[in-house]
Amino acid sequence: MVNTGMGPEKEGVQGVEMRKERGLVTVLAWCFILTGSPATRIVFCKDGVEVYSLKAQRRQLSYFVLLNVTLASTGTYACGYQQRDESNWVRSSALSAPWHVAVRGKTWHSRVGRRDRALPTMWLC
The tens place of each residue's pLDDT in the chain, 125 residues long, gives 444 333 333 455 455 666 666 666 777 788 887 766 678 898 989 999 998 888 888 777 888 888 777 777 888 888 888 888 888 888 888 888 888 877 766 555 555 554 334 333 233 34
Residues 6+ apart with CB under 8 A from 95: 2, 12, 45, 78, 79, 80, 119, 120, 123
The pLDDT value given to residue 7? 35
Nearest to 3 by CA among 123, 112, 124: 112
Give pLDDT, residue 70: 76
CATH topology for 2-112 is Immunoglobulin-like (2.60.40)
What is the structure's pLDDT at 121? 28
pTM for the whole structure? 0.67
How far is the C-alpha of 15 from the C-alpha of 17, rounded, in Å?
7
